[in-house]
Amino acid sequence: MKIKIQETYLLKCLERFKQKFIGFNVLLLILVLCVSKTSLAQNISISGFVKNAQDSLPITGTSVVLKANNTFLGYAYSDEAGAFNINVEAIYKQFVLEVSALGFKRYKDSLIVMDNENVSRNVYLSEKIETLSTVVLKSTEKIEVNRDTISYRLSAFEYGIENSVEDMLKNLPGIEVDDNGIIRALGEPIDKILIEGDDLANSNYKVISQNLDPSALKSIEIIQNYEENPVLKQFLNSSAVVLNLKLKEDKKSMLFGKADVGLGLENRYSGDLNLAFINPNFKLLNLGFVNNIGRTAGAQFSNYEFSIGGFNDFKKSYKLNQNPMVYLQGSIMDIDEKYYVENQALSNSLLFNKKFSKTLHIKNTLYTYRDNFKKDYNIGYTYFVPPNTISYSEHNNFENTDFSIGNDFELQSNPSASSNLIISASFVYKNKNDMNDLVTNGNLINQTLKSKINNFDAQVQYTKKLNNGALVLDGFSGVKSNDELFTIHPNAFAQDSTNSELNTNYKSSLKYWGAESAFVFKSGKTSHSYTIGVLHTSENIKGQSYANKLVVDSLSGSDNAKKIEPKAQVKLKLPMGERLEFNAIAEGKISFYKRNNTSSSLFLPNADFNIQLKEGKTGNYRVGWEYVSKLETLDYYVDFFIVNSYRSLSLGANRVEAITNNRYYFRHSFSDVKKRLFFSTSLSYKHFNSQFVQEGLLNQDFNISRSVYTSGQNFIFFNTSVTTYSKPLNMSLKVGYNYSRVINPSVVNNTFLETVNNTSGFGLTGTSYFRSFFNFKFQMNYTDNKGWNTETEVRNRRFQFMFNPIFKINSEWIINAKFKNYLVDSIFYDANYMEIIYEPELKKWSLGLYVQNIFNKETFEFNYLNNYTNTNISYKTVPRYAYVYWRFKF
């Protein structure tokens, strides 16, 4: 009866949707037929209780699997009372029931069931003393493999110089951390970091990885196929990968942490405080620091939203982003910012996870930070454009200040094995002040940007188990605003600019809400889902420019846009053999878009079809095609000039059109953890059918551009790498090659230019695990950049070498140094530091001496090539300094 009611309600909803949006007729017909087939089929129900054979007490969380002819039919977990229930189609008469639980012997029994029969079967499990079978690397005893979990024993990988979890992760084979702090495990980006199985930070895992002291950890686990939704976990396999931090036994259920204090020459200072309390029901972290030695605060909160993708992507963020109208940050280089950016930073994060019961828990992250940056550099631009090449230079001083406070909250309730509720909310407040003094052509210009940003996002997800599947309901909303005041003195756009000043105020806002309903089913090994949803957005941008207290009409205006976007989606995961699988996602949206007084409707199809060959002797293979169509945000369509800088104005597109592209891709990955061998290859080609390019008028003094639509942009990306362990050398080594080719069309000074950029690079990295006083890490990269258009051809080559020797003089003294050497064409320079650590035995404290820029290098020089622009930058370095620190761990 319950299924019939759901079917009737769904059919009514689909009929209304069909009448309103006739473009979806075929898609809706498929949806109705599939749901009807699932609902009308005869079903049988198998239920019972799982109990301990010794004392008859219920066993919670037991895995109960139903099979027939070696085909997976249904899956359930026992609840707090030990109860389970599985409903499947009555297409078989004989079944096999398999029950397993940690610490108990596996149960297996045969069942013969008649049509529409409800079977009750109680299961009694016997305890077993032996542990789960594992695979241990006997040669080193460093890594343990158990099903979907790989565990690294950290004492076998530590050098004694690690100050954060991120430092420790860089020592582990199979795990990579890029320059932005993004972590990959076995070639896949991780979703989050858990502590003793619980999540505290969601996707903002860098708060943990870049701050938590690793000395309290016993091991780090890679968990594959991680699914935190208990309803979906019963019948879907997730592709998510997470890290789980396991504590030492003496750190559990007690307060622990560390405190650092450092002082040095040139008024250098640092302070660091970790406080943690971890037990099964309550986890608390307080992570804070203050310094002016190059450690930034805001980077750890750069919100990295990892999309699992594929079939099981039902735990996703619906947050929409709002772009600022003006950027005033200055240029950066391919080198750690601490070597050329003076900073002052303050940060504190309070994270906790509380389990009120087995069915209710909350987690919260409250954070605040303040960053101040100063940088000084010369920059020269060369534009290879018709009719003549244009060149100019600037000397820049930047000071950027960023204050932020935010909170992320989540409540999860799963009162039974058949339902789950997640409520989440977040807010962010930012106050930014960016100042730039520059000299160009002998003229001093001051630019100041003050920004106030407010963001609020909320989301509710409810999951309900159905026969052979689940219903997933999502509701979401958000409000965002940005108030920017941009001042330029003197006003270079005015004829008499000696004493004039240009003040521009941009106020932009974004409001959105939406809902989605997804029916997810699994029939045998085939999974399919059907989603309908709607998104509503409202955007406003208002700009006013004043020169000598008079409004500049051409630089002022107001734009607003509203959009209602219903959608329907079908997903399919179809096995085509023992290891071959076909995956498909087909989605259609109709965007009813109104900008100012002009209305339009656009059909936005999206698709992703791929075939995957998985878990073979040579690894996993995937080949596929993806089609993307979307509308950009309102800032791409502004119909008045935006002041980007003292010499740059831009105008939005004059009509609304979908941005579309086709992408063809191939991926291969292979991992043998026992041999510590990892191999990955990816190749993709993307072609834009419609895209934005800048149609510009460029001269010695100004750059005025407008967004226009065109086709022809192409991307080719290829990357391959092999990571292996050399037993004779006792080292892990990674060899990689990457290649990219980008074709960019543009229009400059009424001339069409097609610029081609080719980049190829080779890399070799290594980490030693010697059982001696000496270890090291090294990295070598060679990059060749080449670009050309009808006007010119430019090429540069770079070679980078990093060497990080670590000397453990004895049980108390360690010397750690890092030397980065760069050769850019014929220019050579280096960046370096050295650290001496004294850690007395059986003591909780240690002392350290840190020296940066040992040889007191004064400048760094780089050359960049992008489209038709060649850029030369000469940065003033942070002068040599030293400081002494004291560290206490408890």
pLDDT digits (tens, 9 = 90+) for 720-776: 999 999 989 999 999 999 999 999 898 899 988 888 999 999 999 999 999 899 999
Angle at 800 between CA 796 and CA 805, to 5 degrees: 175
Rg for the chain, CA atoms, rounded: 30
**Could you say which DSSP state residue 3 is in?**
H
Half-sphere exposure of 845 (CA within 13 A, CB side): 5
Nearest in space to 124 (alpha carbons), one of 106, 141, 145: 106
In the prediction, which pLDDT does 615 show?
A: 77
Question: In this structure, are residues 611 and 574 in contact, taking their beta carbons and an 8 Å threshold?
Answer: no
Q: pLDDT tens, 394-404?
A: 999 999 999 99
Give percent above pLDDT 90 in the chain. Answer: 63
Q: Do 413 and 359 form a contact (C-beta atoms < 8 A)? A: yes
Q: Which of 61-75, 78-92, 225-239, 395-409 has the highest mean pLDDT?
A: 395-409
Reduced to 3 states (helix: H, G, I; strand: E, B; else coil), residue 679 is: strand
Of 320, 429, 318, the closest CA to residue 366 belongs to 429
Whole-number percent of the chain with pLDDT over 70: 90
Judged against a pLDDT cut of 70, whether residue 41 lies above it is answered with no
Tell me the one-letter amino acid at 439. Answer: V
35, pLDDT greater than 80: no
Distances (CA, A) of 388 to 381, 655, 703: 14, 32, 15
- Arithmetic mean of pLDDT, 238-254: 92
Query: Per-residue confidence at 673, pLDDT binned at 50, 70, 90?
Result: confident
- State which H helix or E strand residue 45 sits in: strand 43-52
User: How many of the other CB atoms lie within 10 Å of CB of 461?
Assistant: 21
Written as six digits, the tokens of 114 are 């008649």
Distance of alpha carbon 248 from the chain centroid: 29
The pair phi, psi for residue 168, each rounded to 5°, is: -70, -40
Sign for the pseudo-dihedral over CA of 356, 358, 359, 365: positive
45 pLDDT tier (thresholds 50, 70, 90): confident
Q: Please report the pLDDT score of residue 57 as a whole number.
A: 74
pLDDT band at 27 (very low <50, low <70, confident <90, very high): very low
Mean predicted confidence (pLDDT) in 601-606:
97
Q: Which of 172-176, 469-473, 485-489, 714-718 has the lowest mean pLDDT?
A: 172-176
In this prediction, residue 38 carries a pLDDT of 40
Contact 837, 825 (CB under 8 A): no
